[in-house]
């Protein structure tokens, strides 16, 4: 199973602490040796780092861990390949431009009986994850010629994800730089940190941080991850089929896909 | 004036040596303090590094200079902003997916009397460079519903660039990972290195390399840059209006835009 990490914050915030924990799982404390990647939004821009090599000994991962890139939306993925070989083209996050925004996508899972919708977006690599991303974007462009309201958009997006609940494992993080959409069909956890801030300790490596030294009382930062990254805080577990839309650190809409029985 | 750097090679080759020279111009020996970026193709995949900070003291640039990423096509840009503020969204290279390939674009120049063609590709930032990139892609998708032959494609691309020759400065590098298209309307130089290889010395910093230690006799590597990067080799200057298409280090098609008088 791949590992996902996302962040939504109301002030540009670096993700070095969480990333330090996650990267140990990339071939270090975890089995995910098949590459990793991260997308940082800064305003309308996005910068991605992709590496098809294991992240626990990646020079690029060491840079990302030590160089504080301040962002309001981040998504990150470390890969345990199942569909599609280990290559740069198959390394998440995948990004596309739609309606003058960069959209970035990471996915954990395997899809069965899935026929992607064709349209203006095509996959470059051969993962089912990238095919799913293009399917979702093609669904949106077929339905909307102009950017709809966020509420409308998320409704159609969630409807398009509906069949995925019963066709395999499909945990998703998708951002357009404005919001962060997260869907859990098997495993995802979240934590929102806000004042009064305290200290946190990573589960995977002997690293602690005192957030009071790095924050102001108005800061709100939510971190979403496959497994909790710290062992002294209370993380919340997504329900199976639950989706949550985050903006500026706060959950603004949530819902649940329904099982077909 | 921004600085451009491109590479086309028949074997995966790192660009550390040339990049070391170029980055000194990013606020060091040159006036280009407004960010930099580079796109490395590896197979069908592409990895980009973008930094809105000056590259001569960028931690990310130091990584790119010291970490040999092997690629067959590279394009790189250091920016001296004119249209569009300094931000990540305005930092080259710009990338889009078209026909299941990642296309990457860098541009040096300023455009006047330019109205970009609308279509499925929209700019995210506010540079004329990204607007031009989207214009070219929208021109291609309007003309072709399926990927055409390279010859046909380059003909339409060059026709679309024709008006740019008389409407400002427009030096371009565009790659889809298969080939590298280069257009010069004011300044661009190239050098092809092949056996017998020799030593080269950078113009901007005291760094030399002996290519015989890093190559095999079958290697062919072309480097294209705004200004020659070495001071002991013979670089060739593009003519004004000249375009060249490179693949695997060799020039496969060339042509010239005509001035309208």
Write out pLDDT tens, residues A113-167: 889 999 999 999 999 999 999 999 999 999 999 999 999 999 999 999 988 887 7
Q: How far apart are alpha carbons B219 and A184 in whole angstroms?
A: 49
- B58 within 8 A of B66, measured Cβ to Cβ: no
> Which chain A residues have a beta carbon less than 8 Å from that of B72?
none
> Which chain A residues have a beta carbon less than 8 Å from that of B46?
88
Q: Assess whether the previous peptide bond of B63 is cis (omega < 30° from 0).
A: no
> Which chain B residues have a beta carbon less than 8 Å from that of A47?
48-51, 88
- For residue B257, what is the DSSP state? P
pLDDT band at A28 (very low <50, low <70, confident <90, very high): low
What mean pLDDT is predicted for residues A184-199? 96
Annotation says B2 is catalytic: yes
- B108 within 8 A of B82, measured Cβ to Cβ: no
Span between the terminal Cα atoms of chain A, in Å: 26
Q: How far apart are alpha carbons B138 and A97 in whole angstroms?
A: 13
Provide the residue count of chain B. 261
**B87 with A46: Cβ contact below 8 A:** no
> Which chain B residues have a beta carbon less than 8 Å from that of A101?
124
Distance from CA of A116 to the nearest CA of B (A): 14
pLDDT single digits (tens) B164-186: 887 778 999 999 999 999 999 99
pLDDT single digits (tens) A38-62: 999 999 999 999 998 887 778 898 9
List strand residue ranges (DSSP E) for B140-188, in order: 168-175, 180-183
CATH architecture classification, B3-256 = 4-Layer Sandwich (3.60)
- A93 within 8 A of A37, measured Cβ to Cβ: yes
**A47 with B51: Cβ contact below 8 A:** yes
Distance from CA of B48 to the nearest CA of A (A): 7
- Residue A49 is predicted with a pLDDT of 95
Instruction: Look at residue B216 and give its three-state secondary structure.
Output: coil
- Of B82, B38, B35, give the one whose Cα is nearest residue B54: B35
The number of C-beta contacts closer than 8 angstroms across A and B is 87
**B89 with A43: Cβ contact below 8 A:** yes
Nearest to A87 among B43, B87, B96 (CB): B43
- B139 within 8 A of B160, measured Cβ to Cβ: yes
Q: Bridge-partner residues for B169, per DSSP?
A: B110
Span between the terminal Cα atoms of chain B, in Å: 26
Q: Assess whether the previous peptide bond of A196 is cis (omega < 30° from 0).
A: yes
Q: Assess whether the previous peptide bond of B93 is cis (omega < 30° from 0).
A: yes
Return the structure tokens found at B108.
Answer: 């040096």
pLDDT single digits (tens) A205-233: 888 999 999 999 999 999 999 999 999 99
Strongest mean pLDDT among A14-23, B144-153, B202-211: B144-153
pLDDT single digits (tens) B106-154: 999 888 888 999 999 999 999 999 999 999 999 999 999 999 999 999 9
CA distances from B196 to A179, B41, B250 (A): 55, 26, 16
Task: Count Cα atoms within 13 angstroms, Cβ side, for A172.
Answer: 33
Dihedrals φ, ψ of A207, to 5°? -135, 130
Q: Bridge-partner residues for A47, per DSSP?
A: A40
Question: Pairing relation of β-strands B36-42 and B45-51?
Answer: antiparallel
For chain A, give the mean pLDDT: 92
Nearest to B124 among A44, A48, A90 (CB): A44
pLDDT single digits (tens) B16-68: 999 988 888 766 666 667 889 999 999 999 999 999 888 777 889 899 988 88
- Residue B71 is predicted with a pLDDT of 96
Helices A59-66 and A16-24, axial angle in degrees (round to 10):
150
Return the structure tokens found at A150.
Answer: 């966020």
Residue spans of the domains in chain B: they are: 3-256
- Residue A53 is predicted with a pLDDT of 85
- Residue A260 is predicted with a pLDDT of 58
- A239 within 8 A of A254, measured Cβ to Cβ: no
- B47 within 8 A of B39, measured Cβ to Cβ: yes
Q: How many whole angstroms from its chain centre is CA B103? A: 11
For chain B, give the mean pLDDT: 92
């Amino acid at each position: 199973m791949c590992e996902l990490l996302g962040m939504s914050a109301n002030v540009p915030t670096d993700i070095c602490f969480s990333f330090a924990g996650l990267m140990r799982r990339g071939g270090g404390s975890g089995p995910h040796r098949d590459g990793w990647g991260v997308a940082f939004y800064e305003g309308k821009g996005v910068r991605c780092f992709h590496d098809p090599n294991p992240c626990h000994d990646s020079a690029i991962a060491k840079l990302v861990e030590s160089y504080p890139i301040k962002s309001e939306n981040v998504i990150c993925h470390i890969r345990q390949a199942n569909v599609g070989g280990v290559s740069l083209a198959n390394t998440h996050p995948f990004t596309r431009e739609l309606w003058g925004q960069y959209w970035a996508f990471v996915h954990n899972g395997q899809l069965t009986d899935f026929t992607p919708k064709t349209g203006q977006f095509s996959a470059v690599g051969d993962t089912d994850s990238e095919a799913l991303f293009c399917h979702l974007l093609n669904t949106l462009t077929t339905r909307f010629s102009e950017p709809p309201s966020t509420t409308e958009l998320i409704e159609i997006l969630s409807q398009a994800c509906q069949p995925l609940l019963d066709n395999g494992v499909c945990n998703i993080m998708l951002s357009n730089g404005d919001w962060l959409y997260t869907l859990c069909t098997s495993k995802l956890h979240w934590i929102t940190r806000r004042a009064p801030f305290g200290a946190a300790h990573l589960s995977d490596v002997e690293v602690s941080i005192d957030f009071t030294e790095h924050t102001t009382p108005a800061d709100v930062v939510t971190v979403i991850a496959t497994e909790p990254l710290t062992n002294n805080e209370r993380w919340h577990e997504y329900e199976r089929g639950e989706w949550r839309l985050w903006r500026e650190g706060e959950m603004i809409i949530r819902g649940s896909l329904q099982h077909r029985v």
